[in-house]
Amino acid sequence: MILKYIKEIIFPSMTVLGTLGNMFVFVNYMFSWWGSPEKKPIHLILIHLAFTNIIILLTKGLQKTIAAFGLRNFLDDIGCKSIVYLERVSRGLSICTSSLLTVVQAITISPRASGWRRLRTKSAWHILPFLLFFWILNGLISMNLIHSITGTGFNISQLENRDSYCYFMLESQEIKWIVLPLMVMRDAVFQSALGGASGYMIFLLHKHHQHVLYLQNSKLLYRTPPELRAAQSVLLLMLCFAFFYWTDCAFSLILSLSSRDKTLMVNTQEFLALGYATFSPFVLIHRDGLLVDWWHAQMEKLRKCYSRLYVQ
């Protein structure tokens, strides 16, 4: 009973807060994107990441919220296929987009003499083919769900319970051995790229820190470039991603091997699955001062409005 009340509080709170946070990041960077003459690739990737997080929260988080309140059979067969398919696709998009964000940021802050500098995108529009490829890749990998997911209108005794509203039908071994290696390969490739780019950024930021200490000892004034401040934000964001991703993987492995009561562990794993989508926008809001900038912009608008009224 206590666990039920906790679920009724945690999942709705995470869904609402995470959706609002990602919508704020999405709108903020959209205005920065269209209002700035220089289109930054990082802003486009962050817009896509926020959009992906919103899909995760509206598919998985909203389902868990409704199920936590005991509502069942609220999705028909088509609804189940659509929701679970989008949930799987958005999870893959989150991994791919986070990896792309880290790689692009690492290239952005690389020294001019570095060979990586030649890979720097000349235009933010060059990022669009990568994002389109991510949608096609994850859409194809998740195609098996369209056939294996069904609603509660079918004979439940013949189905493997996944959630209280949507069910997995047993798949053929051939399909499993096609889909599973593709998912593992995708995660391994993009996680490796993310880890390598993050390590490279840590190395560059360490060199920058040593340079700053040298200038301070020489009593010279030095300001951190905006690219390095952005790199620090991206690195913190990736630490958040790595924590939730690998903890989620660890709990999934424990669940598959455990034979005891799994209720608490299942709910913990569901919390971890929503963790990155919920908390990542607030990392950006805090690190990049988005809320402060937004507040100053609103105050400036109010000041101009009052000035016009006063003149009239």
pLDDT of 125:
78
Distance of CA 39 to the CA centre of its chain: 22
Rounded Cα gap, residues 296 and 293, in angstroms: 5
∠ CA 251-253-258 to the nearest 5 degrees? 90
* Residue 104: other Cβ atoms inside 10 A: 23
Rounded Cα gap, residues 120 and 288, in angstroms: 22
Residue 50, domain CATH: 1.20.1070.10
Rounded Cα gap, residues 57 and 270, in angstroms: 12
Residue 163 · residue 270 · CB < 8 Å = no
How far apart, in Å, are the Cα atoms of 276 and each of 2, 42, 247? 25, 19, 11
Q: How many domains does the chain have?
A: 1
For residue 10, the enclosing domain spans: 2-311
Rounded Cα gap, residues 279 and 281, in angstroms: 6
pLDDT of 196:
92
Which residues contact residue 94 at a Cβ distance below 8 angstroms, ignoring those fewer than 6 apart? 49, 52, 53, 56, 241, 276, 277
204-236 residue pLDDT tens: 887 876 766 656 565 555 555 667 777 888 888
Residue 235 · residue 201 · CB < 8 Å = yes
Residue 258 · residue 265 · CB < 8 Å = yes
Specify the DSSP element, H or E, that contains 17: helix 2-35
25-56 residue pLDDT tens: 998 888 877 777 677 888 899 999 999 999 99
pLDDT of 264:
73
First-to-last CA distance in the chain?
Answer: 62
Give pLDDT < 70 ranges for the chain.
Answer: 1-6, 37, 65, 67-75, 113, 115-117, 121-123, 151-165, 170-173, 209, 211-226, 259-262, 289-312
